[in-house]
Structures are given as C-alpha cells and as structure tokens.
Amino acid sequence: MKKLCMILPLALILCFMVGCQDKEAMAELEAMKAQADVEEQNIELIKSWIINVWNQRNLALIDTICSPKCDIHYRGQHSVMDPEGLKSMVSRWHQAYSDYANEIEDIFAAGDKVVARFTIRGTQDGPWHELPPSGKKIEVTEIMISRVENGKIVEMWAEEDVLTRRQQLGYTVAPPQPPREKK
C-alpha cells in the first residue's frame, strides 16, 4: 500500500506534465496553422494583383488590395504611390503592350512577404518611354517581393530582365569604346 501511495502522486505529476506539454504543443500547432492561413491569404492577394489587375485589367481592384501609400521599388528606383498612381502605371504598360499578360511560374510566402516569379509577354504596339512602337513581341522574367500588412500590399520590390526586353525590341548592346587619343 505504501508503494501505491508513492507511485500514485508520481503518476499524477507525470500525467500533469504530459498534459501541459500537449497543451503547449497544441498552442504551437495552432499558431503555425494561423500563420499558414495568413500566408495563403497573402499569396491569394498577390495572385489577384498579377492576374486580376495586370492580366484582366481590373484597375478598380487596386483600391481594395493596395494600401493608400504603397512603396514601389523597381529597377533601383523608389517611389510611393497611391491607388491612382498605381492605376496610371498599369495603364501605361497596357497602352504600350495591348496584349500584356503575366504567367506566374512560382509563388510562395514567408511571414508578411510573398515572392512571385512570373513571365511577362506582350507585343509593343504603343510607345514606351523613349521607345517607339516596334510591333515586336517580348517575353521576359520578373521577380517581385511584396510585403502585405493587414490584407493590403504596402510594399513591392520588382526586378525585370530589362536587357532581354530591349534586345527583343531590337536594341543592341555594344561594349564601351576606349577613349580616343588626342592628336
């Protein structure tokens, strides 16, 4: 009986410890599931930006998926754009490439960031900056990292293969020429 009296409290302590560990493990699993749910929502938001805004030209959606002040980092330049500025930017691309379309190749999320790699295709049938309409097709890769806060895009970093795009439009790249000697 003495042994039973000693074993019983030890068994109760062991059960309590195991029960606490299960609660901690369950809380940790719940937190991981909640984070995975947020990351999946963020992925869907970026898919909507790429597919619905850019491919389907649903510019009104920008008001609901982008923050009022969105930090844009593109090819080494930085600007802060409101939804109207973003609509103007997207419209300029569509004026230059009337059949502009993106195809998502890879997309994943970690925390508040979403990384997307996609292929841009289109025919340059309108002017683009200093480039006159060429009628030529482009197919280039872009990688975009977006930061999402409270269900809205607040920041985007994008790098596009500009050299390939310009080469596809007929531009050439020449090596720098050595300086001419003075006579």
User: Region 26-55: what's the mean pLDDT?
Assistant: 91
With contact defined as beta carbons under 8 Å apart, do 66 and 153 qualify? yes
Q: In Å, how far are 34, 69, 98, 163, 182 from 91, measured between CA atoms?
A: 36, 18, 10, 22, 49
Q: What is the pTM of this model?
A: 0.80
- 2-168: CATH class: alpha beta
Q: What is the C-alpha to C-alpha distance for residues 104 and 37, in angstroms, rounded to an integer?
A: 21
Distance, in Å, from the CA atom of 106 to the CA atom of 127, rounded to the nearest integer, reads 30
- What tens digit of pLDDT does each residue of 126-155 get? 998 888 899 999 999 999 999 999 999 999
- Dihedral sign, Cα of residue 63, residue 67, residue 68, residue 71: negative
In this prediction, what percent of the chain has a pLDDT beyond 70?
88
Mean pLDDT computed over 18-34: 75
Indicate left, alpha or beta for 11 from its phi (over 0: left) and psi (-120 to 50: alpha).
alpha
Segments making up each domain of the chain, as ranges: 2-168
172 residue type, one letter: T
Q: What is the pLDDT of residue 27?
A: 84
Concatenated DSSP letters of 74-139: ETTEEEEE-HHHHHHHHHHHHHHBTT-EEEEEEEEEETTEEEEEEEEEEEB-S-BTTBPP---EEE
- With tokens 């280039």, the residue in question is 140
**Residue 150 is inside which H or E element, if any?**
none
pLDDT average, residue stretch 40-44: 96
- Residue 30 pLDDT > 80: yes
Specify the pLDDT at position 175. Answer: 84
Whole-number Å distance between alpha carbons of 118 and 31 = 31
Quote the pLDDT of residue 71. Answer: 94
Secondary structure element (H or E) that encloses residue 157, with its range: strand 152-160
